[in-house]
Amino acid sequence: MLPARPDGTVGSAGADEVGLEHLPTGGGTGPNASFAVVLVDDHRIVREGTRQLLEHDPLIRVVGEASTGEEAVRLALDLKPSVMLVDVQLKGMNGIDVIRTVARIAPQVRCVVLSAYDDYVYITEAFEAGACGYLLKTVSAAELVSAVRAAAAGATVTDERISKRLMERWRSKRPLVEHLTPRETDALRLLVKGSSNREIAQALGVGLRTVEGYVSNVFAKCGVRSRTEAVLFALSHNLATVPTAETDEY
């Protein structure tokens, strides 16, 4: 049985206007704090199905839906959810432009693409625009919930098919990675989890300048220029795994 919805009206862009000021937004802190999600897809049946899957998890509150890019941007500003699931193909403003705009005006909102397309151009454009994840609509319910929870916790998420797609591309374009030291590998794995340099320093018990050196070495050895590229490289080369959240079987 699905858990009861939280009190208050749930926003759905494209439907009748609702009192947005009464909606729960964002999320609390701690491993058991609930968090808000907005769904962005131009097909109502997809939004409804995704909502049902996500709301099996008592920590996830779907607080809004949008069918167009413009509506999605408005909900990002009004609701300030922790995670926004965005389709690439939308009416009006496309999903990549939505992610780029949200990253600029509401950077606390973590955008994850949920798409039917595994085209490499879409994947790279999404991450370059500011997405923290890319999932295909073929993922299972448990994988979707796990990925959304991981994204809310600060991780970069992809599914198996996207990881393989990235691996094929990287192998054809990049030289083999130079050997990383154990500490550089630890730093890279923490980058995948979404940790800041300060958080990495605390986790490894070293100074901030030392971590900056680790990260710089990782960039050089992996042939990447940003934290996002480093995370994608790590995932595609099995140097790290996306953290998963425990979920019930559906």
DSSP sequence for 83-98: EEEE-SS-BSS-HHHH
Q: Could you give the CA distance from residue 240 to residue 104 in angstroms, rounded to a whole number?
A: 28
Domain ranges (residues) in the chain: 20-163, 174-236
Longest dimension (CA), the chain: 57
Rg (CA), the chain: 18
> What confidence category does residue 30 fall into, taking pLDDT thresholds of 50, 70 and 90?
low
What is the pLDDT at residue 36?
Answer: 96
* pLDDT greater at residue 38 or residue 5: 38
**pLDDT at site 3:** 32
CA distance 226 to 150: 21
Kindly state which CATH superfamily the domain 20-163 is placed in: Response regulator (3.40.50.2300)
**pLDDT tens sequence across 103-139:** 999 999 999 999 998 877 788 889 889 999 999 999 9
pLDDT, tens digit (0-9, with 9 covering 90-100), for 31-45: 567 899 999 999 999
- Is the separation of the CB atoms in 130 and 100 below 8 Å? yes
Strand partners, 111: 84
Buried b (16+ CB within 10 A) or exposed e, 45-61: ebbeebbebbbbbebbb
Query: Domain 174-236 - what CATH class?
Result: mainly alpha
In 3D space, the residue among 155, 141, 170, 175 whose CA is nearest the CA of residue 238 turns out to be 170
**Angular region, 154: left φ>0, alpha ψ -120 to 50, beta rest:** left
Category of 75 on φ-ψ map: left (φ > 0), alpha (ψ -120 to 50) or beta: alpha
